[in-house]
Amino acid sequence: MSDKSSKPGAMPLWGWAAIAAALAVAFVAFLSIKPAVTSVPQVTFNMVDGEPLSSAQLPGRLTMINFWSTTCGVCMQEMPYLVQTYRDYHERGFDIVAVAMPYDRPDLVLDYRQRKQLPFKVAIDYDGKVNRAFGGIAFTPTSVLIDAHGKIVSWIVGAPDFRELRSVIEKELGVGANAVKEVKEVKEVKATL
């Protein structure tokens, strides 16, 4: 018998497939577990402009806290969509605070913010306090959508489905799809003038 799978001690192919399937199920289950945090914790964000931002200042506006890193490929891909989402809804009461992870180099965060001209607030979680306050963010990007009363509305691990995210934002802001379409049309007209 020259079949490699029949060697003593060799695991058959079906064994490896079972292990892979179990790992995939465990990983999906892990991603679906949301921290027990249900409202915005009391933390201070270390903003890159030097001004501290307390989470106590957030209520009153729908706010997305986006945990990201300059070394995260998915984060870099989603950033232009976050910028556009911010621009589309900011005047209606939507904010973003992009929080760079503790392992991210501050010089890279500052450079990225400047090069990409990020219009929203950017913080660096130097000491990991913000990360821990939100239950220990393990993966980037992770976004937390907080309503105007400080209640967490949504946890998003990985890049969001931006169509679904926009739908949630519109619902939270009380904006109908037609109103958003009209705002976009007005912006397009202004851009052509």
For 128: left if phi > 0, alpha if psi spans -120 to 50, otherwise beta; the answer is left
> CA-to-CA distance for 99 and 109, rounded, in angstroms?
10
Q: Is residue 7 part of a domain?
A: no
- Asked whether residue 48 is domain-assigned, the answer is yes
pTM check: above 0.85: no
Is position 32 within any domain? no
Q: What's the pLDDT at 179?
A: 46
Tell me, what's the pLDDT at 7? 62
Count Cβ atoms below 10 Å from residue 59 Cβ, excluding itself: 15
How many domains are contained in the chain? Answer: 1
pLDDT value at residue 84: 97
For residue 136, being part of any structural domain is answered with yes
Q: Round to whole Å and give the CA distance between 174 and 36.
A: 27
Q: Is residue 60 part of a domain?
A: yes
Predicted local confidence at residue 40, as pLDDT: 86
- What's residue 125's pLDDT? 96
Kindly list the distances between the CA atom of residue 36 and the CA atoms of 6, 63, 97, 145, in Å, as whole numbers in the listed order: 48, 19, 21, 15
Given a cut of 70, the residues of the chain with pLDDT beneath it are 1-9, 15-37, 175-193
pLDDT for residue 187: 45
In a domain, residue 35? The reply is no
From CA 76, how far away is CA 65, in angstroms rounded?
16
Residue 19 domain-assigned (yes or no)? no
Query: At 183, which amino acid appears?
Result: V
Residue 103 — φ and ψ, nearest 5°?
-85, -5
Residue 54 lies in a domain: yes
What CATH number did the domain enclosing 118 receive? 3.40.30.10
In terms of residue numbers, what domain contains 106? 44-192
Q: Which of 43, 31, 20, 46 is nearest to 140 (CA)?
A: 31
Per-residue model confidence (pLDDT) at position 36: 60
Question: What is the C-alpha separation between 170 and 166, in angstroms, rounded?
Answer: 6
